[in-house]
A and B are shown apart, each in its own frame.
Chain A
Amino acid sequence: DGGITQSPKYLFRKEGQNVTLSCEQNLNHDAMYWYRQDPGQGLRLIYYSQIVNDFQKGDIAEGYSVSREKKESFPLTVTSAQKNPTAFYLCASSISPIGPTEAFFGQGTRLTVV
């Protein structure tokens, strides 16, 4: 089955720690995205990548980092510089970064700072 896999589903982080959220897709999509979801705020774009070895900051990139070393993988690191990391994180992919298109989403990772 083709799709997007995010892991883990739940993640707990202590203050001051970095954590990495995994996102893998087997859809052969060029573009991948990370969104953050908070209650009542919809989805906000953190980072996106249009091609391997390239990525761009979205609207709320501060305190986050990404890499895109392989087409199918786009991990997100939440660093200790992110002041309020507790949220639901969603990874998505789309077939092409050129032109308007729908995105397909993973099941999300819920990160909680303890």
Chain B
Amino acid sequence: GNSVTQMEGPVTLSEEAFLTINCTYTATGYPSLFWYVQYPGEGLQLLLKATKADDKGSNKGFEATYRKETTSFHLEKGSVQVSDSAVYFCALSDQGSNSGYALNFGKGTSLLVTP
């Protein structure tokens, strides 16, 4: 079946530090991969996506590359800001046995950036 594993948090960084949040996946087909961000008390917002191997998704300084050989989609940002503090979810969309193409999520990684 499909699954997503991401590093557990919380992750605490100082402002302007480099961020990496690891994400690996298992899929039976050819999934699309996503990173979502959730601010306290809110829904999820799409941060970036990649639809095929070697694609790089990018948005607001965040990047992630779809690596089929390592089944990974790690999220990176070169210099984090206090406003990046949130929970980040890695997700995939692929044909599931009982879920159609519904997104399958990792457990989320909480990021706290301190001034």
Name A's B-contacting residues (CB within 8 A). Answer: 4, 6, 31, 33, 35, 40-43, 45, 48, 50, 56-59, 90, 92, 94, 97-108, 110
Contact = CB atoms under 8 A, between A and B. Distances in A.
Given A100-B31, A102-B32, A50 B100 contact: yes
B46 A107 contact: no
Q: Which of B42, B102, B107 has the most CB of A within 10 A?
A: B102
Q: Which 6 residue pairs spanning A and B have beta carbons closest together?
A: A100-B32, A100-B93, A105-B43, A42-B107, A43-B105, A105-B44
Interface residues of B, number: 28
Contacts of A43: 44, 89, 103, 105
Contacts of B44: 43, 90, 92, 105
A56 B101 CA distance: 12
Given A42-B105, A43-B105, A102-B46, A48 B99 contact: yes
Given A100-B31, A105-B43, A108-B43, A42 B101 contact: no
Contacts of A101: 32, 93, 101
B55 to A, nearest CB: 12
A40 B89 CA distance: 11
A104 B100 contact: no
Contacts of A50: 100
Given A100-B94, A101-B32, A104-B46, 7 more contacts: A41-B107, A43-B44, A56-B100, A92-B44, A97-B100, A102-B46, A108-B43
A57 B98 contact: yes
Contacts of A94: 101
Interface string B46-58: 1001010000000
A58 B32 contact: no
Nearest to A108: B43
A56 B98 contact: yes
A107 B42 contact: yes
A22 B32 CA distance: 29
A105 B94 CA distance: 18
A32 to B, nearest CB: 10
Contact of A108 (B32, B42, B92, B106): B42
